[in-house]
Amino acid sequence: MPDAAQIAADLRALFGADAVLTEAEDLAKYESGWRYGKGRALLAVRPGTTADVSRLLAYCHAGGLRVMPQGANTGLVGASNPDASGEMLVLSLERLNKRLEIDPVNRTALVDGGVLLSSLNEALVAHGLMFPIDLGADPTLGGMIATNTGGTRLLKYGDVRHNLQGLEVVLADGTVIEALNFLRKNNTGLDLKQLFVGTSGIFGVITGAVLQVVPVPKQHATALVGCASGETVLALLQALERELADVFTAFEVISAEALTPVFRHHTDLRNPYGASQAPAYTALVELSSTLPLTALDLPEVLEERLGAFMEGEAGEGITDIFMGKPEEFWSLRHHISESLRSEGKVLAFDISVPRSRMATFTEAARAILMAEYPFVRCCDFGHWGDGGTHLNLVWDESTSPVATAELAPVLQGRIYDLAVLEFDGSYSAEHGVGPHNQRFYDAYTREPVRQLNGAIKAHLDPGRILGTTRLD
């Protein structure tokens, strides 16, 4: 067991007393994840500069001390928390948040790894710009890069990977890799920064980044579209892309089983279907544009196009079209997860399959549940525009014939096997890899890929001091 008192004394001497936390009550917030992940930290250190991160990692590397890099701790696979050994030191990036330099002509922002997404967007407002990755949490930019965050507008803007120009990373031994590229075009060999995108911080600690930013749209138009089947949803998606690709920003889809609980638990939210039963699926369609309403009437365009689609042959399965305020419709989407938690035990999934197979995949999952686990409800919703679905399974633990501890792993195995082995999908569409889904990484990742990851890890972190996720 590392000598915590000696290490704390050494680190206080290097970084100042208030950079090092050792008391149980101070460490608690770094030890538990948002949804999964609970461990015990040796201590937590909060360096404020890249040079201090470098000094800290050199110290840990020399002493063989294991380190967990942590941003805002909003990750959803338990990869940001120390393990149960009590031997890991948390390297919190919360104080590495000073650099925030915007170049409006280049349309880039240089940020420290610990800058929060909200702080970046607040600074960008004055320039009419924003970072286009949009989600219901407020993570750090370093954490977003380490998990390659997707978000609700991936359809238009892509994920973090697509909006990243350069990186500054500190390797496990303290070496600083400065690759803060401000160029849009720079074809000079391996795009090294991609090694650190979506790899859960196990190859290095991200201390700085150059991000591409985009103009803030001047107007949005949103509609809820009732669809009788998954096939109708896909026909609608295809038609909207064909006709409105330039302004098509989001396509979220909510099953009746996921939508109905929202109104049960939030009577203040308006149910557009009133007393009628919601159709199989409701698509939330969003258009946005930097053109003002006077130049392009987006709500009118959307209403007209949806109406024309409904009248056509492919639109037979459209049951309703509701035009409305973006905040109102997005609020329904954002209340799903907690409404489901009020209904019983929730087993959350973050799956993707090729978009063309979303409807058949979801039907196949439902068929398995109906045949083998009829007491489990499939409350699916998600980013169908990106081929993503949060296929959440809900059941009443008090009446379930099988205990949750036994049922949950069996359901995970069944659904992930279906997605990965039969539908060419992914068991982690956007949340990354961590202890929560490590066994599925191990099961589905081919040997040559793991060997390559192992060689990279051995080169960048030979002492294996960074993180708990294994990619080899």
Residues that bind ligand FAD in the complex, under the rule CB under 6 A: 34, 68-76, 79-80, 93, 113, 135-137, 139-140, 142-144, 146-147, 149-152, 200-201, 205-206, 430-431, 467
Per-residue tokens: 324: 């409305």
Helix, strand, or coil (residue 20): strand
Pairing of strands 318-324, 377-382: unpaired
Q: Quick one: 317 or 388, whose CB is closer to ligand FAD?
A: 388
What is d(CA 116, CA 160) in angstroms, rounded to the nearest whole number? 14
What is d(CA 396, CA 435) in angstroms, rounded to the nearest whole number? 26
Least distance from C-beta 36 to ligand FAD, angstroms?
A: 11
Helix, strand, or coil (residue 472): coil
What is d(CA 188, CA 193) in angstroms, rounded to the nearest whole number? 13
What is d(CA 339, CA 426) in angstroms, rounded to the nearest whole number? 26
Q: Quick one: 19 or 68, whose CB is closer to ligand FAD?
A: 68
Per-residue tokens: 227: 């669809």
Q: Quick one: 136 or 354, whose CB is closer to ligand FAD?
A: 136
Q: Quick one: 254 or 407, whose CB is closer to ligand FAD?
A: 254
Least distance from C-beta 33 to ligand FAD, angstroms?
A: 7
Do 13 and 54 meet the contact criterion of CB atoms below 8 Å apart? no
Distant-in-sequence, close-in-space partners of 46: CB < 8 Å, separation ≥ 6: 19, 20, 21, 92, 94, 95
Least distance from C-beta 200 to ligand FAD, angstroms?
A: 4
Least distance from C-beta 147 to ligand FAD, angstroms?
A: 4
Do 375 and 426 meet the contact criterion of CB atoms below 8 Å apart? no
Least distance from C-beta 74 to ligand FAD, angstroms?
A: 3
Per-residue tokens: 389: 């679905």
What is d(CA 292, CA 267) in angstroms, rounded to the nearest whole number? 35
Least distance from C-beta 435 to ligand FAD, angstroms?
A: 10
Least distance from C-beta 285 to ligand FAD, angstroms?
A: 18
Q: Quick one: 111 or 321, whose CB is closer to ligand FAD?
A: 111
Q: Quick one: 76 or 172, whose CB is closer to ligand FAD?
A: 76
Q: Quick one: 96 or 235, whose CB is closer to ligand FAD?
A: 96
Q: Quick one: 29 or 264, whose CB is closer to ligand FAD?
A: 29
DSSP state of 229: S
Least distance from C-beta 157 to ligand FAD, angstroms?
A: 12
Start-end of H helices in 335-418: 336-341, 358-372, 404-417
